Amino acid sequence: MKTLDPLAGVSAFLAVAETLSFSKAAERLDMSRPTVSAQVQDLEKRLGIRLLQRTTRVVSLTEAGEAYRLALADVMPQLREAERAATSFQKEAIGRIRVSAPPDLGADHVTQSIAAFLKLNPGISIELSLSPDAVNLVEERFDLAIRGTISLEPNVVTRKIGASPIVVCASPDYLADRDRPLHPEDLATHACLHFSKLRWGRVWHFSQAETERRVAIQPRFESNDGRSLLAAALHGAGIALLPMYVVGPSLRAGELVRLLDDWEIATIPIHAVYPANRHIAAKVRTFVRFLADRLSQHPDLLDTSPAAQAGRGAE
């Protein structure tokens, strides 16, 4: 059974009731006169009573029409306020944002950006959920996900907001009693700390000029959390392959040593991801712009690959 819209024709009726003219009502509503007339007729048919008296020269309200108009006087302002409240989320940076991010990226970089953003936007609140898995944005009702990944699923809108090179590193303690690897194949004799969600599996990829190497590893320790692998590397458990946004501070502090730095591994693009919908709320657009500007200034989230450097040189 088709459900009837109780508001169908109401705006057309009120415009005619206020102007006592179908032509003026049509002009006010930016409709054709026949459309306004048809909507009013459909409304009268649904209500089962005549609301307007029409002659070739005059339009007037019937007694029922006047009663209906007066009753709507309290309803229409509420409807306009409801429309204003809904559309404000499209026009103004207000409301709550639900964000998903991986723990190794979200715990530091995203959280710090959120704190700075909230100081500047008092009308916004944010809920951050940290998970190593890609959430279903629609089913789990997330406004936005931050993904540090090389591949993305279809049916989403993405904006690249940063990039982070993957590096190989180990602690000075680990290297103290061992030969430092000088070639990717040397990793076969070392304890490797492996990110279990790496899309290549237990194979580390290296390239140098025209040379490529694929090194199968047998991890001594693996985890789906980059921070856990970082902790293991800092405690001398082995050699880790991790993005700079995880290990950068430890490398600069001398707590870790970068290895095989004359070999390129890969660069992880950081994306803001939201459902494929052309009506992106202002709060989400504002936050993504802020996040992109902030992350682009971070030394561990700069794309240092040769291709990116060549692109910058051409600018």
Does the pTM exceed 0.85?
A: no
Residues with Cβ within 8 Å of 203's Cβ and at least 6 positions away in sequence, in order, are 214, 215, 216, 217
Does pLDDT of 7 surpass 70?
Answer: no
CA–CA dist 291, 146 (Å, integer)? 10
Report residue 89 as tokens.
């989320």
Give the pairing of strands 239-243 and 144-148: unpaired
Phi and psi at 51, nearest 5°, equal -105, -25
Q: Is 277 helix (H, G, I), strand (E, B) or coil?
A: coil
Mean pLDDT of the chain: 84
- pLDDT of 72 reads 82
Domains observed in the chain: 10-90 (1.10.10.10), 95-162+268-310 (3.40.190.10), 164-267 (3.40.190.290)
Does pLDDT of 284 surpass 50?
Answer: yes
Element (H, E) at 13: helix 10-19
Only one residue has tokens 């809904």, namely 86
Does pLDDT of 306 surpass 60?
Answer: no
Burial 246-261 (b: 16+ CB within 10 A, else e): bbbebeeeebbbebbe
> Residue 180's CB: how many other CB atoms inside 10 A?
13
- pLDDT of 303 reads 58
Q: Which residues pair with 54 in a beta bridge?
A: 59
Determine what percent of the chain is predicted with pLDDT higher than 70: 84
> Residue 104's CB: how many other CB atoms inside 10 A?
25
Q: Is 19 helix (H, G, I), strand (E, B) or coil?
A: helix
- pLDDT of 309 reads 45
- The tens digit of pLDDT for each residue in 175-218 reads 998 999 999 999 999 999 999 988 888 999 999 988 999 999 99
